[in-house]
Structure 1
Amino acid sequence: MRTLTAVIYPAPRSKWLVAYNPETGTTTQGRTHQEALRNLKEATELYLSEFPEKAKSAGRAVMTTFEVAAHA
């Protein structure tokens, strides 16, 4: 078992949520957080089973914040 990162955010102009795993690049969607996370887990497991060498090289993502100038 491995612990990976899930980034879940609202899709623009949609009621769907986007789920993204930065370690592998897998991306999917769902109507709820639970559905999006379940779909991301499935997509990531399929990706890693198809490309097992990626499982070994996928590093741990570092999440941080940064500021930019706001332009009105």
Structure 2
Amino acid sequence: MRTLAAVLSKKEDMYVAECPEVGTVSQGRTVEEAVANLKEATELYLEEFPLDGGRRPIITTFAAAEGAAG
């Protein structure tokens, strides 16, 4: 058993959930449904493509000014 991250965003009337460590994406009408669907999709993916040893990507956050000119 491994703990993975879920990043959620709201798109109209659905929640989109993404697992950045694996790259799987799913959706649901509620946060709970989106995460449950992401869990199922990720488990199916990992059956075919197991994670490499103990290596995990580095996930961090950063601040960006809104409306900043490039």
Regarding TM over 0.5, the answer is yes
Q: 1:49 to 1:35 in 2, by over 3 A?
A: same
Give the structure with the larger helix fraction. 1
2:35 corresponds to: 37
Moved over 4 A (4+): none
Residue identity opposite 1:56 in structure 2:
D
- Whole-Å separation in 2 of the counterparts to 1:37 and 1:67: 27
1:68 and 2:65 aligned:
yes
Residue identity opposite 1:65 in structure 2:
F
- Whole-Å separation in 1 of the counterparts to 2:39 and 2:31: 12
Q: CA RMSD in A?
A: 1.7
2:15 corresponds to: 17
- Provide TM-score, normalisation by structure 2: 0.83
- Residues 43-58 of structure 1 aligned to structure 2 (within 5 Å): 43-52=41-50, 55-56=51-52
- For structure 1, the residue ranges without an aligned partner over 5 or more in a row are none
| Deviation (angstroms), 1:47 | 0.4
Give the structure with the larger strand fraction. 2
